[in-house]
Each structure stands twice: as C-alpha cells, then as structure tokens.
Structure 1
C-alpha cells in the first residue's frame, strides 16, 4: 500500500509538473505571437508611411491642377491598403536658411516665436558669427570664441556653415525651449536668403513682414492661387502618418531631394530620416 501511495504521489507530481511546463510553453508561445504581431504591424505601418512619402513626391510633381499637391504644409489624406495616411509636404524654400538668412530676418523670427527683442538680436548675431569665417563679433553682440569661453562653454564659434539644423542648439544663447520653437521653420537646404512666401508657414511670413492670414488664405481650396501648379524647389520636408485599422500609427519625418538618388532606380535622396511608432 505504501509503495502504491508513493507511486500515486509521484504520478500526481509528474502530472502537475507537466501541466506547469505546458502552461509555461503556451504562455511563452502566446507572448511571442503577440510580439510578432506587434513587430509585424509596426513594420507594415512604417512601410505605409514610406509609401505616403513616395506618393506625395509623385503628386507634388503632377502638372494637373486637379491632382497636384502643393508643398505648403496643408494636410493631404490618402486611403491605401485598408489604412489611412496623412501627408504634409513643405518646400524647404519656404523656410529660413541658417546659412543664408540675414541676422535681421533671424532676429525677426525669434521675436515672432516669443523671444524678447534684445535677446533675439544677440542670438541672431551669434548665429551669424557661428557660420562666418572671421573672428570678429557682429555689431551689437554676437558670439566668437572669447564669448563662449566667458560663458563656460568648452568650444568656440565654428566659423563654418551649419551642417544640420540641430547644430544651432550649440550657438551661444540658444536654449532647448527656443530651439523647439524655431526648429520647424529652419533649414540648411533652401540656398536662398529670403524664403519663398508661396510656401512659407505663418511664423516665417510674419518674420518677413508679410500678413500671414492673407497669404495662408490664398492656399485654401478654391482660392485663385490653387490653380498654380509646380514642383517648387524639389527639396521638401515630408511628414507621413500611417494609421492601421487597429490604430497602430507610424510617423515618418524626413527631408528629401526629388530626383535620382544614390541608389539605382530611386527617385529621391534622403537628407534627413526619422521614423517612429506610436502605441495603439
């Protein structure tokens, strides 16, 4: 009897252990399946966001007024592969070029974005000193090597053109808050001292001394200017948001130059590329 009882306990223990193992395996398999689904949904959403970018480049080059997309920041929506894609495309010529704009225009943008006038003038002068080759500070302020040393910074003025928009964060007097307020309106790809008002966003128009309401009204559907089509400068900021049926969202923010890219068969060159996924 004792042997039979011990055997029964052993069998029950083995059954319990096997049950636990099967349960653990099932749980692991379920977790891995969910992870695979999330990764798969994310990859699909990212590819859809990229499709939105490429479709936008086709539409912005379309010469037909009825189907042309204007690169002035207005949202365009596209239904593709059972998903909703929203695209905004902005011609870089409508932004303020850090390497070309005058200190006066830079200071004006800073004021429009809420920076106190005297401080705006100093930061604008420091931006000019960062990019110019001489060691002389701008009239009324600026920032050359001695000024950076006096501020306790371990570097001086670069004395060369900006290579990225983010580089302006290193300029004397710049703060993360001010940079966040300026960043959407700055570029290094326009190659012109004065932005094109046909594509400029409201704060840039205001910085140029133009009436933003009047210019933005001309971009509304049905306005006379809507009949004017053209690809613009060919260099664009594109934000493409792809939403899957389950509310999985992929966001692609990029700066691209239309035309043949470095990869055979590509239709654009990526100058900046930032992909992200939002939760369900």
Structure 2
C-alpha cells in the first residue's frame, strides 16, 4: 500500500513538473516570436528613415530607441560598398582578409584561392556552348567553400557582400572592425557619414525584451529597387549576438521612443 501511494505521488509530481516545463517552453517560444516581430518592425523603421527626406540631418546610426512594446532596439545600417565582394574582390584582398580571420597565412591563402576558383566560369557539357558564369548569389554560399568552418563562416558574414561589384571596398563606408582586419587605420577625424540614397545596405536590428529575450534580425535592402519601387528586401537573416555591441548599448543607454525618432525624420 505504501509503495502504491509513493508511486502515485511520484507520477503526480512528474505530471506537475511536465506541465510547468511545457508552460515555460510555450512562454519562451512566445517571447522569441514577439522579439522577432519587434526586430522586423525595427528594420522597417530603418527603411522608412532611409527613405525620408534628408534623413542624415535628423537621425544617426547606430540608433538606440524603445519600441512601442517596450523592447530596447539597437539599429545599425551597414553599406555594402564597405564590405568585401566575394565576386569582385582581388585575390590580395581576399587573402589578407581570411588570413586575418584565421590567423594562418597558408589557410587564408587556400580559402582565397578556392573562392576565386568558385567564381570562375565553368565549361558546359553542351557542344558549342560558352562557359557558364558561376557567381556567388548570396553570402550564405560562403559555407560551400572547402576549409570554411562554421565559426569562420559566421565570423566572415558581417564583412562580405555580393552586392557592391567593387574589386576593393570603399574605405569610407567600411566598419572599424573590417578596417582592423585589413590592417587599415580608420581616419581619426572622419566626418559624420549620412545614410546612402542608393545602392544596397544591411540593416541589423538587435532587440532586447524586458524578460531578457534577445533577437537579432538582419535585412539586405536595395534602395531604388527599380520598376517604380523605392526599395527591395533581398534577404532576411538571423544575426549573431555581438558582445561588444551589447556592452556599448548598456553604456550609452536605450534612447528615446523609436516612433518619435521616425516622426522627427519624416518632418
């Protein structure tokens, strides 16, 4: 009898614990979904700001603000011309970049050579047909390169593009992190750089909710999308947490309400 009661008690405790776990899991899923929607809203806010008249005079990025749901947003805008184009970058630039990322000259050279080989025109099997042009259509294809570890792939993503078409990146548009990897010193007295009015940009929205949920959404956006469209969103990506960015956000605060910033830019 005692064993039976003990077994029933254990089963009851298991049911209670399981129910609590399922409730917590459902709550976590809901928190992540809410943070994801907030991140996409922040991306749309940045697009609207970029399309507003003379946005560079009223809003500067990184932008730190509060969304209507109470989430804290850090929104960054990165110009694709300031990144290394996988289809157009010179072998020297690719080698220097991947050598810096890997800390190994021979490995960096091998990866650069494989990228050059990947983008070379390939011979077609059809008689009389010219070589087929094979190019990177997205930076996510970088993981197809032999020797590209998952960690190296994720680290390289913030610094590469397929949208600039430049053999050398625009040093004025490059991030300080990219310049450091290329061993280029940023200009000490560089003036404030406004938002571009054309070309492609990556918008990175880093969302922190009050319950501690964190979600980062990145969007590759082409301004002046053509066919009468003011812009085109070419890719959505989920970003990785940048610990240095988190420290900077805590140090500088969360800023004003995001919609107030948007109204200021539009006025």
**What is the TM-score of this pair, normalised by structure 1?**
0.63
**3-state SS, counterpart of residue 204 of structure 1:** helix
Contact 1:115 1:178 in 2 (8 A): no
- Deviation digits for residues 30-49 of structure 1, max 9, x if unmatched? 77765654444333222111
Equivalent position to 2:170, from 193, 196, 200? 196
Does 2:24 match 1:59? Answer: no
- Deviation digits for residues 65-116 of structure 1, max 9, x if unmatched? 442335xxxx321112122111122111111000000101111112332433
Distance change in 2, residues 1:61/1:196 (3 Å) = farther
Contact 1:77 1:86 in 2 (8 A): yes
Gaps of 5+ in 1: 1-16, 18-22, 136-157, 219-224
- Partner Cα distance (2:93, 2:117) in 1: 15
What's 1:245 paired with? 210
**3-state SS, counterpart of residue 160 of structure 1:** coil
- Partner Cα distance (1:175, 1:276) in 2: 16
Distance change in 2, residues 1:46/1:259 (3 Å) = farther
Count of residues in correspondence between the two structures: 224
For the aligned residues, what is the CA RMSD? 3.9
Q: 1:186 offset after TM fit, Å?
A: 1.1
Show the 5 A alignment for 1:96-175. 96-133=84-121, 160-175=134-149
Distance change in 2, residues 1:230/1:83 (3 Å) = closer
Show the 5 A alignment for 1:222-261. 225-226=191-192, 228-231=193-196, 233-259=198-224
Distance change in 2, residues 1:246/1:107 (3 Å) = same
- Partner Cα distance (1:127, 1:53) in 2: 31
Greater Cα shift, 177-186 or 85-94: 177-186
Q: 1:276 offset after TM fit, Å?
A: 9.0
Contact 2:43 2:203 in 1 (8 A): yes
Contact 2:221 2:231 in 1 (8 A): no
**3-state SS, counterpart of residue 229 of structure 1:** coil
**What is the TM-score of this pair, normalised by structure 2?**
0.66
Gaps of 5+ in 2: 1-7, 124-131, 242-267
**3-state SS, counterpart of residue 107 of structure 1:** helix
Equivalent position to 1:41, from 22, 25, 31? 31
What's 1:145 paired with? none
- Partner Cα distance (1:192, 1:233) in 2: 15
Q: Which has the larger radius of gyration?
A: 1
**3-state SS, counterpart of residue 196 of structure 2:** coil
What's 2:253 paired with? none
- Partner Cα distance (1:120, 1:276) in 2: 23
Contact 1:93 1:190 in 2 (8 A): yes
**3-state SS, counterpart of residue 113 of structure 1:** helix
What's 2:254 paired with? none
What's 1:7 paired with? none
Distance change in 2, residues 1:61/1:194 (3 Å) = farther
Contact 1:97 1:189 in 2 (8 A): yes
Greater Cα shift, 250-259 or 46-55: 250-259
